[in-house]
């Protein structure tokens, strides 16, 4: 009786399972409890969509005010193409190392093995922490701003300050932060996907309605300011767009996928970028069309004219509620790398996840993390400037530069091949843009510094 020869798929699945088991034995508490590898590619798509399609997209019309129609749409298209390409490259690198028997679960682990220990410890690790924790701060601040907008709609003469709403949103985040693992967020992130489509549709509909009505402001698409302001404004806008497309946690998201991992991230990226295309372009184009160079840093602000709503109050209320709810999911997603570090530091992989030894340190450390981010958000209520700085210093290297470098160093494509030179061009161009955008972002902060005041009610 002949034995049936196992298929190549079965062999690969068996090898991936063995690799996962070996890696599981060596995992620290952070990777073991926070980055559980149990999800499907669909779950991965939910995580990706929440991390990319977030309320910062509501500042895209503002970015267009520095770029105009042609450059604005061109930057949106380039951002979509380059980030989709870069995220796919980094996924291929992760798959390659997983097949070799060493699955990377964190961005800094990739940098450690591909670039060297110092790069992971002193460059990628700190930058990723700054990006992710900065995103948590920005989400908390924007959540407070949306809450205040709802409050002023119902009580125009209300006396509550912005920092009070930031604290209220922070309390909500304090509860969500206790969700144990990244994988546990899969259904919350499905709801988040629906919410981002909902508020983007609401924002687009409101912009079209206002732009077509008699209440529409005079449309002016000219670029304002002198030549120096225009140049720096253009790079500031590029930083905002980079932040909007930014992710910074691709390895951590792919770490949530159950083995075998091959091909799953590409499917998840297709889901994510379908939503990206629908939401980003509709909001950016309709918002800039309706308000021109008067588009605010958050397009929802344009729906009020001297406190008078340009669309029904219930519609603005609904849009803000959708935004607030999704902001909470986005904030918790970007809190995961911080949670992983905290769990790795204070947790014990040999004890059960929900034992007293791990549950108490988890509750204390995560609560302190949210309290600190909420305090920072209340103290520094300048969302637009924070958005640009994060994009220039963080998302640009993590999402535009490092993926192509990792790919070239891992697969070593021929120097005569198109992919080698395409990756080199992307790395060089976005390195230059990153430096200039960082300078522009810092310059904008210095210009706005005269308006800065701790716990300002803006």
Joined together, the tokens standing for residue 196 give 């981002």
Q: What domains lie within the chain, and their CATH numbers?
A: 49-450 (1.20.1740)
What's the confidence (pLDDT) of residue 26? 60
Is the distance from CB of 144 to CB of 377 less than 8 angstroms? yes
Question: How many whole angstroms separate alpha carbon 199 and alpha carbon 203?
Answer: 6
Question: How many whole angstroms separate alpha carbon 245 and alpha carbon 437?
Answer: 15
Is the distance from CB of 201 to CB of 391 less than 8 angstroms? no
Q: Tokens 């002193």 — which residue?
A: 122
Joined together, the tokens standing for residue 359 give 């549950």
Residue 334's φ and ψ, nearest 5 degrees, are: -75, -10
Query: Whole-model pTM?
Result: 0.90
* Helices 41-52 + 186-212 axis angle, to 10: 40
What end-to-end distance do the CA atoms of the chain give, in Å? 80
Burial class (CB in 10 A: 0-12, 13-18, 19+), 423: buried
Helix/strand/coil for 308:
strand
Task: Express each pLDDT in 266-283 by its tens digit.
Answer: 999 999 999 999 999 999
Residues 6+ apart with CB under 8 A from 64: 72, 237, 284, 287, 288, 295
What's the confidence (pLDDT) of residue 191? 96
- Report the chain (458 residues): mean pLDDT per 10 consecutive residues: 44 45 61 91 96 93 94 95 96 93 90 91 90 90 91 86 93 94 95 96 95 85 84 85 90 93 93 96 96 90 86 93 95 94 91 91 96 90 66 85 95 94 95 85 75 68
Residues 6+ apart with CB under 8 A from 291: 61, 207, 210, 211, 217, 219, 299, 302
Is the distance from CB of 385 to CB of 445 less than 8 angstroms? yes
Residue 39's φ and ψ, nearest 5 degrees, are: -85, 170
Task: Express each pLDDT in 10-30 by its tens digit.
Answer: 444 444 444 444 344 467 888
Q: How many CB atoms lie within 10 A of CB 128?
A: 25
Of 255, 265, 247, residue with least CA distance to 92: 265
Joined together, the tokens standing for residue 328 give 């909470």
Joined together, the tokens standing for residue 138 give 């920005």
What's the confidence (pLDDT) of residue 15? 43
Question: How many whole angstroms separate alpha carbon 174 and alpha carbon 317?
Answer: 24
What's the confidence (pLDDT) of residue 102? 87
What's the confidence (pLDDT) of residue 184? 94
């Amino acid at each position: 009786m002949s034995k049936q020869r196992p298929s190549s798929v079965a062999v690969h699945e068996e090898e991936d399972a063995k690799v996962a088991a070996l890696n599981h034995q060596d995992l620290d508490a952070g990777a073991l409890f926070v980055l559980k590898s149990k999800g499907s590619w669909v779950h991965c798509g939910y995580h990706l969509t929440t991390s990319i399609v977030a309320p910062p997209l509501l500042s895209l019309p503002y970015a267009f005010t520095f770029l105009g129609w042609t450059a604005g749409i061109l930057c949106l298209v380039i951002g979509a193409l380059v980030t989709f390409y870069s995220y796919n490259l980094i996924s291929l690198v992760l798959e390659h190392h997983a097949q070799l028997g060493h699955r990377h679960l964190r961005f800094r682990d990739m940098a450690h093995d591909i670039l060297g220990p110092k790069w992971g410890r002193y460059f990628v690790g700190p930058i990723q922490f700054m990006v992710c924790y900065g995103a948590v701060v920005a989400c908390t601040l924007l959540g407070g701003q949306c809450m205040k907008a709802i409050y002023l709609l119902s009580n125009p003469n209300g006396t509550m300050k912005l920092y009070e709403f930031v604290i209220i949103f922070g309390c909500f985040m304090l509860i969500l932060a206790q969700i144990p693992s990244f994988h546990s967020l899969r259904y919350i992130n499905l709801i988040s996907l629906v919410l981002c489509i909902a508020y983007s549709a609401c924002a687009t509909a409101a912009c079209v309605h206002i732009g077509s009505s008699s209440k529409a402001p005079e449309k002016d698409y000219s670029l304002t300011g002198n030549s120096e302001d225009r140049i720096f404004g253009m790079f500031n806008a590029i930083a905002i767009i980079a932040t909007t497309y930014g992710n910074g946690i691709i390895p951590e998201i792919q770490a949530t996928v159950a083995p075998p991992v091959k091909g799953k991230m590409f499917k998840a990226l297709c889901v994510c970028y379908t939503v990206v295309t629908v939401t980003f372009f509709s909001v950016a184009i309709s918002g800039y069309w309706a308000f021109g160079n008067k588009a605010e840093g958050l397009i929802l602000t344009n729906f009020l004219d001297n406190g008078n709503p340009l669309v029904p109050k219930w519609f603005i209320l609904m849009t803000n509620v959708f935004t607030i709810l999704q902001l909470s999911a986005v904030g918790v997603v970007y809190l995961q790398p911080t949670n992983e570090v905290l769990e790795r530091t204070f947790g014990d992989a040999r004890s059960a996840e929900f034992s007293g030894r791990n549950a108490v340190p988890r509750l204390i450390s995560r609560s302190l993390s949210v309290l600190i981010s909420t305090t920072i958000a209340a103290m520094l209520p300048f969302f637009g400037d924070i958005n640009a700085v994060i994009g220039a210093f963080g998302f640009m290297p993590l999402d535009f530069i490092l993926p192509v470098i990792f790919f070239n160093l891992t697969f070593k494509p021929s120097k005569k091949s198109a992919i080698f030179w395409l990756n080199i061009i992307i790395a060089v161009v976005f390195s230059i843009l990153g430096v200039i955008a960082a300078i522009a972002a810092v310059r904008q902060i210095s210009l706005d510094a005269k308006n800065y005041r701790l716990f300002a009610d803006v």
